[in-house]
Amino acid sequence: TLETGGAREVIAIVTHGVLSGNAVETLNKSCLSRIVVTNTVPLGDKIERCPKLRVIDISQVLGEAIRRTHNGESVSYLFNHVPV
């Protein structure tokens, strides 16, 4: 396992946090110290039930990507210039 291999901390970075079924319980019992998800999927009470969860708001960068696409501008520009 990662722990026996010497990992000091294990963090999962997930684009869409679809936590169906008993996912919250499974994550709470896992060796993961943190699970970082975006706000693309509503999590409801799962945030309170899983203290390991951290949600990143991507609404500004998503809105900027849509604006750039609509105006024919470069979306790859956002790789190095994330709006905050």
Q: What are the strands of the beta sheet with 11-16, ordered from one edge? A: 11-16, 34-38, 53-56
Q: How do the pLDDT tens digits run along the chain, 84 residues long?
A: 787 899 999 999 999 999 999 999 999 999 999 999 999 999 999 999 999 999 999 999 999 999 999 999 999 999 998 766
What domains lie within the chain, and their CATH numbers? 3-79 (3.40.50.2020)
